[in-house]
Chains A and B, each alone.
Chain A
Amino acid sequence: MSLHRPPRLLERILDWAVPTGLSGHATLGDLAEEFQRRAEASPLRARLWYLVQTGSIMFYRVFMRQRGERTVGNGALVMDLRWSFRSILRHPGFFLGVVGVLGVGLGANAGVFSVVDGTLESVRWWSDPGATVAIWPEREVSFGQLDLYSQDQNIYRSFGGYSELAFALRTPGGESVSVNGVMITPALFRELAVQRAYGRALADEDAIFGVEPVVVIGEGLWRRSFGADPAIIGTRVSISGAAVTVVGVQGPGSAAPGGRAELWLPLVMDPRNDDFWKAQTITLIGVLREDATLGQAQDELVTFTGRLSQLFPMFYPPGFADGRATVGLADKAQRRLVSTPLLLLLAGTTLLMIVTALNVGNLLLGRAIDRRRELAVRVSLGARRSRIVRQLLVEGFVFTALAFAIGLSIASFAGRWLASLFVGDAIVASSSVFSPSVLFYSLGIAALTWLVVNGVPIAHFLRTGRSGLRVVPDSGAAMQRTLVVVQAALATLLLISATLLVATVDNLRKVPLGFATGGLVTLELSPPEDRVATAPVARTLYDGLIENVSSVSGVEAAGLTGWLPLRTQAPTTPINLETFPVEPAQATKAPMHMVDPGFFEVFDVQPLQGRLLGSQDRGAEPSAVVVNQTLADMLWPDGSAVGQRIAIDPHAWMTWVPVVGVVRDIRSGEITGPVGPALYVSLAESPSRDVTLVVRTDGPTAALIPTLRRTIRSVDELVPIRAVQGMDEVVRAAYATSWVMMGLLIVLAIMATVLGAIGIYGVLAHHVALSRKEIGLRMALGAAPGVVVGGVVRSGLLLAVIGIGIGSVAAAMSTRFLESLLYEVSALAPWAFVTPALALAVAAGMAAWVPAARAGRLPPADVLRGD
């Protein structure tokens, strides 16, 4: 049994709050014991429970201490509440403003957190994330390699792999729909975090080649297409043309692996199939035995890559995997990928929350200064200072509690809206803001807010409580100013981050793609294996698709490609030169794109030299190659590319294929970085299961999509359509994260700036109000209004400048966290620091001008007479 310790911080708070001696000691012990009991069921719920208990004990300690009190709600607390509400009613506008601002801040925080939480939860694929290892995540392996590995391994209790695919499923209604699925080793399937709703899991016997095929279907699909019929277990469905028995229904939230996978089939393949060793599509996963370590897993992988070199020295020369074959926790890499921008965003909203809380604290401090006479009178009449502190705490609590309620109601919308901004399925909001972790976090932030909001006036009161009756000129002003400086610093930090992202997105938009995106629609297809088994069979399908789609009215051109630009990186292939042959391992490598002639037409690519791939290039093996400019310059700097002969199949390393043309560079894998070398071969000669149909239309694309879908189904209803997207969406998706982060940081930065300006305004207005006499006197003595106004504005600007300085230093130290999101912008670009500084200074100047002008208009005589 493992020992669960209660949250240390809460325990420390309690230790301080409970009475000394046995009573307090035993209380903490009881709580620890109960925590242990609850944590075994759910650690998160146990923490939440502990928080609630801490709250209840603190509540009783603070409010129920007086002797003789026997029941809740008597005396002190009620009086404090009444006092709070009275002071709220005296300034309802102030109250509403404060609660509204805090509420929005808390809502934004809880919303962002719910997205972070939901996203991290959704990448919890495996039931034992602490032991589930991604083996060699740098590459995918073939069936043969998986087989080889599993024979040798002895440190995993479950071992296997999965491969993501799309299938054509025939629904009971007779319609053929495209469904994403995963072929997975049964042992691994049983390690998935998701529970089954009905039926059984995939069993090891299901993955023996030749047995009756079975499938487990996802809950969503079961509801959508099978009317949630429990009798589906044992029935047969048609998947990509084969009759497959349904043995189970996977429970809700069955996210992964494979994104929105809704079909799980046993990973099995005919060992006689060519692809058994050739097709590298399997991701390796292992679940470590209890006594095994990651270090052992790494050693075993090294042994395995060594064995590959031994068996196939031609493809895997000794040392080929040095440093490029690693193991790591399976969920971790996934988590890091999705969480980096979100955590940055969370940091941003937390900063904003601090700015907001400081601002409110400042406002309350202003009121405390105004009220110091009232408080001082009460102190001298015998009110205990602890009592007054308590009243201030209750008042702050009322503020925060109401703001918290508003915040939570905002949070669920905010979270869902935020998640919808990110393209793709990786980012999801928590199903409910009332999930324990989101509540826990928001309560924590609310408590922090309460502390900041209250700490400021209370600290002031404790310092001046005794001397309150004597009028200390401008007392508390130093604290108010410090707070404004901190706000300005935080606003600067956010503004600089936002500026860097604006520049990034601008740079990304200017990246030359090599083609125009307007009017292009992409349809990802995933034909079943037998439709592309041989070149002639595949040709029938491809020709049928192009012919039929081209004849749809509104379609200007249609082309097929194995790898869509900006979507995925094509696999690289070694290139052997006839004039200078080398071993495959030493050869130059370049991504190989399988395309049909229509591809060049759709993307408007003209040959720079020679010709494009055409309808004559349709043998059983690649018979012609087109290279891009970069590759041509790399291999034949003298410009003699066309007519050269190269080999591109390591299995046929001396089979020469002529280079027939050179085309301009087209961006393929990522939008950032240089466009690398690329070569194009005819899709008809190297059929692929994953092809994208790209269509150029002469009008709006959306209206054509249903027709295109119908046309594809009419060609072959077993060809599933995985996704339909406009090419401009594909391009946008390539920098969507930077784009969304930019938008959100701009919003945060503007809010922080406005709040900072309000803070400066508040402090100066308060200062002017308090120094009315002094100002009046100076003006009566002949000071020009301009001098008075200038003085006030200067003092405001001074605060802003100090804050900007501190914020810039903080930004210089922290913007490197943004670096992974930046493109062609230095995290320390001087202009990214100067522009926000100027903007903030202008805002500060404007905020200072208002109270300054008021000071300049003060009629001296009235001021001196007044009060």
Chain B
Amino acid sequence: MSQDYLGEFEQMVLLSIMRLGKGAYGLAIRDELERVAGRSPSSGSLYTTLDRMEKKGLVQSHEGESTRERGGRPRRYVRVTAEGRAFLARCRSTLLALWDGLEGALDR
């Protein structure tokens, strides 16, 4: 079933959101991805991914403050839902299971 696992980019976005905690909104997520993972996704892919994950119930968003340099538009803060965390956990354990016993394999 397609929703059992998440794509790599979605996982990275979810993890960035969790790292950022309360301060996770579009721009901060992109900065975090760039800082930690060295990826700077295009606006199109990032926001489409956020919308999609919200539709799937993996993240939840609420309206934040609006400032002058944002043209009076609010920030959209996102947090990972319980369902999202469950997905992440499942992905992680699957990956770890697959890695099990292979730790030395890459060194050779």
Residues on A facing B (Cβ under 8 Å):
3, 5-6, 11, 18-19, 22-23, 25-34, 36, 52-53, 55-61, 64, 68, 70-72
A33 and B44 contact, Cβ closer than 8 Å, known pairs A23-B61, A26-B26, A70-B2: no
A-B contact pairs, 16 of them (CB 8 A): A23-B54, A23-B61, A23-B76, A26-B76, A29-B75, A30-B75, A52-B42, A53-B42, A55-B44, A56-B42, A56-B44, A60-B44, A60-B45, A60-B48, A61-B44, A71-B7
Provide the main secondary structure of the chain B interface. Answer: mixed
Give complex CA distance A61, B45 in Å.
10
Give complex CA distance A72, B9 in Å.
12
For B64, the closest partner residue in chain A by CB is A26
Q: Which of B2, B45, B50, B70 contacts A32 (CB 8 A)?
A: B70
Residues of chain A with a CB closer than 8 A to B27's CB: 30, 33-34
When the two chains form their complex, are residues A59 and B44 in contact, meaning their CB atoms are under 8 A apart? Answer: yes
Provide the main secondary structure of the chain A interface. Answer: helix
Give complex CA distance A19, B52 in Å.
12
Give complex CA distance A57, B50 in Å.
13
Q: Mark B62-94, 1 if CB is under 8 A from A, else 0.
A: 010011111101111000000000000000000
When the two chains form their complex, are residues B47 and A23 in contact, meaning their CB atoms are under 8 A apart? Answer: yes
- With a 10 A CB-CB cut-off, give which of B2, B27, B70, B75 has the most chain A CB atoms: B70
Question: Which 5 A/B pairs are nearest by Cβ-Cβ distance?
Answer: A29-B73, A26-B76, A56-B44, A60-B44, A56-B42
When the two chains form their complex, are residues B42 and A29 in contact, meaning their CB atoms are under 8 A apart? Answer: no
Which of the four size classes fits the interface of chain B?
Answer: 20 to 34
Residues of chain A with a CB closer than 8 A to B68's CB: 3
Residues of chain A with a CB closer than 8 A to B63's CB: 22, 26
Give complex CA distance A628, B89 in Å.
99
A29 and B51 contact, Cβ closer than 8 Å, known pairs A22-B76, A57-B44, A70-B2: no
Residues of chain A with a CB closer than 8 A to B51's CB: 19, 23
When the two chains form their complex, are residues A32 and B42 in contact, meaning their CB atoms are under 8 A apart? Answer: no
Residues of chain B with a CB closer than 8 A to A71's CB: 7
Residues of chain A with a CB closer than 8 A to B54's CB: 23
Q: Which of B43, B52, B70, B76 contacts A57 (CB 8 A)?
A: B43
For B3, the closest partner residue in chain A by CB is A70
When the two chains form their complex, are residues A56 and B26 in contact, meaning their CB atoms are under 8 A apart? Answer: no
Give complex CA distance A72, B66 in Å.
32
Residues on B facing A (Cβ under 8 Å):
2, 7, 25-27, 42-45, 47-48, 50-52, 54, 61, 63, 66-71, 73-76
When the two chains form their complex, are residues B25 and A72 in contact, meaning their CB atoms are under 8 A apart? Answer: no
Give complex CA distance A260, B49 in Å.
54
A56 and B25 contact, Cβ closer than 8 Å, known pairs A29-B70, A32-B73: no
Residues of chain A with a CB closer than 8 A to B25's CB: 26, 30
Q: Which of A29, A52, A70 contacts B66 (CB 8 A)?
A: A29
Residues of chain B with a CB closer than 8 A to A25's CB: 73-74, 76
For B55, the closest partner residue in chain A by CB is A67
Give complex CA distance A33, B45 in Å.
18
- With a 10 A CB-CB cut-off, give which of A19, A22, A36, A59 has the most chain B CB atoms: A22
Known: A28-B73, A29-B73, A60-B48. 10 other contacts (CB 8 A): A3-B69, A19-B51, A22-B74, A26-B26, A26-B76, A27-B76, A32-B70, A33-B27, A60-B47, A61-B48
Give complex CA distance A52, B43 in Å.
9
A36 and B69 contact, Cβ closer than 8 Å, known pairs A27-B43, A30-B26, A58-B44: yes
Q: Which of B7, B48, B75 contacts A26 (CB 8 A)?
A: B75
For A55, the closest partner residue in chain B by CB is B44
Give complex CA distance A855, B44 in Å.
53
Residues of chain B with a CB closer than 8 A to A70's CB: 2, 7, 52
Residues of chain B with a CB closer than 8 A to A19's CB: 51
Residues of chain A with a CB closer than 8 A to B71's CB: 5-6, 11, 28-29, 32
Give complex CA distance A702, B2 in Å.
80
When the two chains form their complex, are residues B47 and A57 in contact, meaning their CB atoms are under 8 A apart? Answer: yes
Give complex CA distance A26, B64 in Å.
9
For A5, the closest partner residue in chain B by CB is B71
Give complex CA distance A32, B75 in Å.
11
Residues of chain A with a CB closer than 8 A to B66's CB: 29
Nearest-CB distance from B73 to chain A (Å)?
Answer: 3
Nearest-CB distance from B88 to chain A (Å)?
Answer: 17
When the two chains form their complex, are residues A29 and B74 in contact, meaning their CB atoms are under 8 A apart? Answer: yes
Give complex CA distance A19, B76 in Å.
14
Residues of chain B with a CB closer than 8 A to A30's CB: 25-27, 43, 70, 75
Residues of chain A with a CB closer than 8 A to B44's CB: 53, 55-61, 64
Give complex CA distance A268, B53 in Å.
71
Give complex CA distance A57, B26 in Å.
14
Give complex CA distance A3, B67 in Å.
12
A31 and B43 contact, Cβ closer than 8 Å, known pairs A26-B75, A64-B48: yes
Residues of chain B with a CB closer than 8 A to A6's CB: 71
Q: Which of A23, A33, A53, A58 contacts B70 (CB 8 A)?
A: A33
Residues of chain B with a CB closer than 8 A to A57's CB: 43-44, 47
Q: Which of A26, A32, A64 contacts B69 (CB 8 A)?
A: A32
Nearest-CB distance from B8 to chain A (Å)?
Answer: 10
Give complex CA distance A29, B25 in Å.
11
A53 and B73 contact, Cβ closer than 8 Å, known pairs A29-B66, A33-B27, A70-B2: no
Residues of chain B with a CB closer than 8 A to A61's CB: 44, 48
Give complex CA distance A59, B48 in Å.
11
For A64, the closest partner residue in chain B by CB is B48
For B7, the closest partner residue in chain A by CB is A70
Nearest-CB distance from A39 to chain B (Å)?
Answer: 10
Residues of chain B with a CB closer than 8 A to A31's CB: 43
Give complex CA distance A27, B68 in Å.
15
Nearest-CB distance from A61 to chain B (Å)?
Answer: 8
Residues of chain B with a CB closer than 8 A to A5's CB: 71
A33 and B48 contact, Cβ closer than 8 Å, known pairs A22-B61, A26-B74, A53-B42: no
Give complex CA distance A22, B74 in Å.
8
When the two chains form their complex, are residues A53 and B43 in contact, meaning their CB atoms are under 8 A apart? Answer: yes
Residues of chain A with a CB closer than 8 A to B42's CB: 52-53, 56
Give complex CA distance A19, B71 in Å.
18
